Amino acid sequence: MSRQVSAGRDARLRRRLQLASGFILALGLCAAVLIYLAADGSTGGAVAYEIINGQAYPVVPADSKMYSHEVVRIGGKATLLFAEFDRWLADLWRGRSLGYTVAVLSATISAVLFFVSRRT
């Protein structure tokens, strides 16, 4: 009798995990599309713009050779590497990149829940 109860609980848990997986995937992808469509493509750290052939390009101080040289001079190449990594990581949470980030995170969490449900 207890095996039947245990099997019933396992089946309900498996079904709940699969439903949660689908819900997270659907909700996450809808949110990612909305974020992507609502976000502008501008760069957050621009302090000026260069106009070349009628096209405006943002100028970010961290992109300059002088900035890179000063960071290497003060802290070494490892500091420059960490500064670039930090800037890349910060850019994931702004604008259209946030839409991609939310999509990848929701797909990953959904896949993990689905595979956990298959193991249960």
Burial of 77 (0-12, 13-18, 19+ CB in 10 A): exposed
- pTM as predicted: 0.75
Residues making up the chain, counted from first to last: 120
Higher pLDDT, 41 or 73: 73
6/3 Cα distance (integer angstroms): 5
Q: Which domain holds residue 110?
A: 1-44+96-120
1/97 Cα distance (integer angstroms): 53
**Does the pLDDT of residue 36 top 80, yes or no?**
yes
> Does residue 24 belong to any structural domain of this protein?
yes
**Structural domain count of the chain:** 1
**Does the pLDDT of residue 1 top 70, yes or no?**
no
> Stretch 114-120: mean pLDDT, rounded?
90
Tell me the per-residue pLDDT of 53-98, one tens digit each, with 9 for 90 and over.
Answer: 999 888 888 888 898 999 999 999 999 999 999 989 988 898 899 9
**Residues 45 and 100 sit within 8 Å (Cβ to Cβ):** no
> Does residue 79 belong to any structural domain of this protein?
no
